[in-house]
Amino acid sequence: MTSNNNLEELVFLPLGGVGEIGMNLYLYGLGSPRRRQWLMIDLGVTFPGEYEPGIDLIMPDTRFIEDERANLAGILLTHAHEDHFGAVMALWPRLRAPVYATPFTAALLRAKLIERGLEGDVELIEIFRQTRMEIGPFDIELIDMAHSIPEPNGVVIRTPLGTVFHTGDWKLDPDPIVGPPLDEKRIREVAQEGIDVLVCDSTNAMRDGVSPSEADVAETLTEIICKAEHRVAITTFASNVARLRSAIAAAKAADRHVVVVGRAMLRTLQVARETGHLPGDVELLSDDEYGYLPRDKVVALCTGSQGETRGALARIAADTHPKITFAAGDMVIFSSRTIPGNEKSVGRVQNKLVDQGVEIVTDADALVHCSGHPRRGELEKMYEWVRPRIAIPMHGEARHLAAHADLAKSLGVGNVVRTRNGTMVRLAPGPAELIDEAAAGRVYKDGAIMLEGGSNTLSERRKLAFAGTVSVSLILSGAGELRGEPQIACWGLPESSKEGVAMAEIIFDAIYGALDGIPRRRRKDSAKVGEAVRRAVRAEINQAWGKKPLCAVLVTVL
């Protein structure tokens, strides 16, 4: 990987979103390595799984661009999904560049800032759809796309060294319910000018054909709700305004009231109303009014489609929601895709609902969900319109990126770049090639604290979950004699070994054995005593149990 320090270059550097679905952060750089200016597209999060116990959000490592902060011209948000804009609040203080967003995205970000008492902390610049403007040295044009949220944008990036089309998230949908369909005409016009590089969504590159339309889902929801005998609840991503509008229309067709359950969904609907994506005369009831409605006259819109423990649906399923309950014969429609990694949490919620006698409807049963990302047939259309010289698959796991790369090759693209987060690609001049690497780890939001990727906190929590912990307190005299009985505390250990020996007895034996092995004159070194006891306790527990817990030993010398 080589780069000439005096060569004017156009480069691409993903710090999130390439090799994974989520946590999108894409950098475009223009100029020589010593005087390069940067444009950031999106700044998103991903969500923790069982491997990240206690973590609230996961965000991209921005150390590279923090060091280049003076050269960061701006942050452009393509749309308001959490995996594209959810890290702005937490990471903006490290970057302090202006944030550009169209009205719906700007309003949703502003609402979140107000909710957290951060209004005015972020330099937020609202721009219109189909805007053409300059951000630093980059000539930017927004192109209307179709996706599962209002105002998704593709981005044309024009520079003296070449033109890039960054698609963002998209699909082909003749009737997306909210907003216009993808602007094929404008994409073709820009392609006539010449698009050198296509950086394109790979999420559904392994699926043949074309994604169903939001209008098809709306029709199915109406059919199901009109036939339902009792309550109907619909859970979907809170940001999917088109799906929410379809559910509201279906409720109206069935002569039912709509109750909104969950703060995120209520906030999205309020923003949609303010920005013209939801008619002002739509009647939405709060969960306070739920209990007064007849069972056959209600449709509840609920957060928690991914089984989130704090989502409305998980609390309803666990019978811990203060205002909402279901009864046998009610129906819950999961109008969403289960994100990989969330299968267990979604399954737990569904099983609890089934135990209550609730009927579950998923996209395996009926067309109650459609993806917002392009399948292979849609990708083929995009390549036909754009005819790029270079293709870079993004927004996908390794298998999605590989399938997209192979498809692009088969469609005649001569220069297909297979890259990953942290790898810098020179797009121009010349053929695209990998020229450098940058840090591309993760940052974890843990309550009010930000943990850097190298922190031991997560590995220690995983060990705690796997093998528990033991704490030992010892008091020694200045002569190295034990003063009183050792104090121990255990969490997460079995009470006894398979032979029936109490675990506490095993620990005490290990402590005394370790002390007996240390001459008294050497016991003045409390650190060495503590380490010897720690090793002995872990070894004896491992012998008895087959697992090594975390062990902390406090030695006090009087």
Q: According to the model, what pLDDT value does residue 557 have?
A: 86
Contacts of 378 (CB under 8 A, 6+ apart): 171, 172, 204, 210, 211
Q: According to the model, what pLDDT value does residue 7 have?
A: 87
Q: What percent of the chain has pLDDT over 90?
A: 86
- Reduced to 3 states (helix: H, G, I; strand: E, B; else coil), residue 527 is helix
Domain containing residue 550 = 468-557
Whether 107 and 233 map to the same domain: the answer is no
Domain assignment of residue 461, yes or no: no
Q: According to the model, what pLDDT value does residue 514 have?
A: 94
Does 226 score more than 60 pLDDT?
yes
Phi, psi of 23 (to 5 degrees): 55, 45
Does 326 score more than 90 pLDDT?
yes
Average pLDDT over residues 201-220: 97
Q: How far apart are CA 391 and CA 415, in angstroms?
A: 6
Whether 288 and 378 map to the same domain: the answer is no
Contacts of 219 (CB under 8 A, 6+ apart): none
Domain assignment of residue 551, yes or no: yes
**37-41 β-sheet, strand order:** 124-126, 99-101, 72-76, 37-41, 25-31, 9-16, 423-428, 433-437
335 or 120, which is more confident? 335
Q: What is the pLDDT of residues 367-378, one digit of tens each?
A: 999 999 999 999
Contacts of 223 (CB under 8 A, 6+ apart): none
pLDDT confidence band for 347 (50 / 70 / 90): very high
Does 4 score more than 70 pLDDT?
no
Average pLDDT over residues 321-334: 97
Whether 269 and 141 map to the same domain: the answer is no
CATH number at residue 478: 3.10.20.580
Does 30 score more than 90 pLDDT?
yes
Domain assignment of residue 460, yes or no: no
How many domains are contained in the chain? 3
Q: What is the pLDDT of residues 383-405, one digit of tens each?
A: 999 999 999 999 999 999 999 99
Does 2 score more than 60 pLDDT?
no
Whether 64 and 188 map to the same domain: the answer is yes
Q: According to the model, what pLDDT value does residue 3 have?
A: 54
CATH number at residue 282: 3.40.50.10710
Q: What is the pLDDT of residues 404-452, one digit of tens each?
A: 999 999 999 999 999 999 999 999 999 999 999 999 999 999 888 898 8
What integer best gives the mean pLDDT of the chain? 95
Q: How far apart are CA 162 and CA 190, in angstroms?
A: 13
Whether 193 and 239 map to the same domain: the answer is no
Q: According to the model, what pLDDT value does residue 324 have?
A: 96
Domain assignment of residue 459, yes or no: no
Whether 340 and 230 map to the same domain: the answer is yes
Q: How far apart are CA 217 and CA 191, in angstroms?
A: 32
Q: According to the model, what pLDDT value does residue 426 have?
A: 98
Whether 159 and 81 map to the same domain: the answer is yes
Q: What is the 3-state secondary structure (H, E, C) of 234-264?
A: EECCCCCHHHHHHHHHHHHHCCCEEEEECHH
Whether 23 and 156 map to the same domain: the answer is yes
Average pLDDT over residues 110-119: 90
Whether 129 and 94 map to the same domain: the answer is yes
Does 477 score more than 60 pLDDT?
yes
Question: Are residues 267 and 115 in contact, defined by beta-carbon separation less than 8 angstroms?
Answer: yes
Whether 161 and 231 map to the same domain: the answer is no
Instruction: Enumerate the β-bridge partners of residue 449.
Output: 446
Q: What is the pLDDT of residues 295-325, one digit of tens each?
A: 999 999 999 999 998 899 999 999 999 999 9
Average pLDDT over residues 207-223: 97
pLDDT confidence band for 119 (50 / 70 / 90): confident
Whether 49 and 191 map to the same domain: the answer is yes
Does 148 score more than 80 pLDDT?
yes
Q: According to the model, what pLDDT value does residue 54 have?
A: 84
Q: According to the model, what pLDDT value does residue 536 have?
A: 96
Whether 165 and 252 map to the same domain: the answer is no
Domain assignment of residue 258, yes or no: yes
pTM of the model: 0.91
Q: What is the pLDDT of residues 44-98, one digit of tens each?
A: 999 887 778 888 899 999 999 999 999 999 999 999 999 999 999 999 999 999 9
Which of 303, 333, 361 is where one domain is finished?
Answer: 361
Domain assignment of residue 3, yes or no: no
Domain assignment of residue 1, yes or no: no
Domain assignment of residue 382, yes or no: yes
CATH number at residue 138: 3.60.15.10
